[in-house]
Amino acid sequence: PSAQIRMLLRYVALVQASLFLITSCEVSQNKGTFWHVTDLHLDFYYDETNNDPAQVCPSSFGAETPDAGLFGDYRCDSPWSLVRSAVEEMKRIEPNPNFIIWTGDDTLHTSDEDKFLSEELVIETVHNLTNLLKKSFPNTTVHAALGNHDYHYKSQIPPGPSSILSAIANDWRDWMTDEQFQMFNQTGCFIREIAPKVDLISLNTNVWYTSNKVVTGMADPGGYFAWFEQELEKAKSMSKKVYVIGHVPPGHFELVDYKYWYYPEYNVRYVEIIKQYSDVIIGQFFGHHHTDTFRMFYDDNGNAVSSLLIAPGVTPWMTTLPGADDGANNPGIRLFEFDATTMEITDYVQYYLDLAAANMAGKADWTEEYRATSDLGIPDMSVASWEKLSKRLESANVLEPSSPDTILLQKFVNYNSVLYNLTPCNRSCQLNQVCAIRELDYGKYKDCVSDD
């Protein structure tokens, strides 16, 4: 009998071993990826051969660009060569992502929209970029969000239908069901299921943007907040999780003192909604800054409950916002990794192009800039980890440049401009970065930055 038991035990062990093998194979197969690309800002007038250095691109607002090269200039928006190179690189690194997130801003910045842009040119620009993505990723659904520059005049996007929105909706129709198309065509928002228990909500946050003068005085332009809440409530009742994508994020810009994006009452409302549904939302992905950063949300007891990730732009364009000091960036594209069963984000890799080097070499060598879990001092992408990172950035003493937290702060700030601006981060730089990350409430942000 003991021989029989031994055999039985061996058999059980064998079954266990093969079950383990099957399970571990399944786990490794369950990794998914998606690209997040944002702020392409195509300047199709860009001409580096123009002999007048002030005329290379209208997006330089008349500033001279003596170093302009094949792939662009830090004072200009993206030439076609840069946009094409970015999308080619996405295809080379990961040609079969589960999907792509594209968070808007396709046209050039210009001080003279009557001369350099029109409704037709906005539509044509979005159309050309849409085609580039469709041709490069024919089998991949793109989840897109509208940017404030995807309109004429810029930022004046009405809540509700418009001729530009209809044209864009037609371009993006291949990526939508009829129902999603109908809604997007009327609102610039949509919701779709991206996994059995996970929805993605694309918000038209441009109606909450302070530069938008057509929404003035509206309590809830287009009813988008009410819709957002209703969809989150529905998801919650069905035990679903939600990804949120949008262009203009809540909170402050970290490169300028006191510069916020949403009208104050809309910022309050957005933050309240995220707080209320923090257990439903498993990712928030935004653009608009062109810089690389994140934002934290807290409950009433000060516990971190959600995070929002802002990906850097493809355009290197130096912001003309008053108070921003040398606010250009290198072009970036971001590949997220997630657990395909739960859709929880597990990591991301940030890729970038050293624009000056690319122009010098006459060829674009995109490289890995950093991997979140290796280079930010956090083991995973949980809210607790982002909170831990923000705490370390906050406690860094800039007068002790060799202490681990200060080294981390400097690294983080270097990533913020995608390795364009490597200036040592002093106390005011630290406060601007950290207060923007940790204080989405405008009043608390103000107290935070003035706490010197």
Ligand X SMILES: *[C@@H]1O[C@H](CO)[C@@H](O)[C@H](O)[C@H]1NC(C)=O
Phi, psi of 215 (to 5 degrees): -105, 0
Q: Are 148 and 248 in contact (CB under 8 A)?
A: yes
Q: Are 228 and 221 in contact (CB under 8 A)?
A: no
Residue list 25-64, contact with Zn ion (CB under 5 A): 39
Q: Are 203 and 246 in contact (CB under 8 A)?
A: yes
Residue 325 binding partner per list ligand X, Zn ion, none, with a CB distance cut-off of 5 to 8 Å that depends on partner kind: ligand X
Measured from the CB of residue 95, what is the shortest distance to ligand X in angstroms?
A: 6
Residue list 163-182, contact with ligand X (CB under 6 A): 166
Of residues 274, 259, 154, the one with CA closest to residue 214? 154
- The tokens describing 257, both together, are 């003192």
Contacts 24+ apart (CB under 8 A), 440-444: 440/250, 440/251, 440/267, 440/271, 440/295, 440/296, 440/297, 441/267, 441/268, 441/271, 442/252, 442/260, 442/264, 442/267
Measured from the CB of residue 136, what is the shortest distance to ligand X in angstroms?
A: 8
Rg from Cα positions in the chain: 23
Measured from the CB of residue 107, what is the shortest distance to ligand X in angstroms?
A: 8
Our finding on whether 206 is near Zn ion (CB under 5 A) is: no
Determine if residue 416 is labeled as part of a ligand binding site: no
Determine if residue 279 is labeled as part of a ligand binding site: no
Measured from the CB of residue 300, what is the shortest distance to ligand X in angstroms?
A: 34
* Residue with the CB atom nearest Zn ion in the bound state: 105
Q: Are 131 and 66 in contact (CB under 8 A)?
A: no
Our finding on whether 121 is near ligand X (CB under 6 A) is: yes
- The tokens describing 266, both together, are 């809309």
Measured from the CB of residue 370, what is the shortest distance to ligand X in angstroms?
A: 23
Measured from the CB of residue 105, what is the shortest distance to Zn ion in angstroms?
A: 3
Our finding on whether 257 is near ligand X (CB under 6 A) is: no
Q: Are 251 and 274 in contact (CB under 8 A)?
A: no
30 versus 428: smaller Cβ distance to ligand X: 428
Measured from the CB of residue 71, what is the shortest distance to ligand X in angstroms?
A: 17
Of residues 82, 143, 4, the one with CA closest to residue 329? 82
Q: Are 359 and 70 in contact (CB under 8 A)?
A: yes
97 versus 377: smaller Cβ distance to ligand X: 97
Specify the stretch interacting with ligand X by CB under 6 A; choose among 252-260, 372-380, 411-419, 424-432: 424-432
Determine if residue 149 is labeled as part of a ligand binding site: no
Specify the stretch interacting with Zn ion by CB under 5 A; choose among 57-65, 157-165, 214-222, 282-290: 282-290
Q: Which residue has the tokens 């983080």?
A: 412
Our finding on whether 150 is near Zn ion (CB under 5 A) is: no
148 versus 430: smaller Cβ distance to ligand X: 430
Our finding on whether 118 is near ligand X (CB under 6 A) is: no
**What is the maximum alpha-carbon separation in the chain?**
96
Residue list 384-423, contact with ligand X (CB under 6 A): 423
| Number of residues assigned to the chain | 452
Q: Which residues bind ligand X (CB under 6 A)?
A: 42, 44, 121, 124-125, 128, 138-139, 161, 166, 185, 325, 423, 426, 428-429
Q: Which residues bind Zn ion (CB under 5 A)?
A: 39, 105, 147-148, 288
> Residues annotated as binding site?
39, 41, 105, 148, 247, 288, 290
> Residues annotated as binding site for Zn(2+)?
39, 41, 105, 148, 247, 288, 290
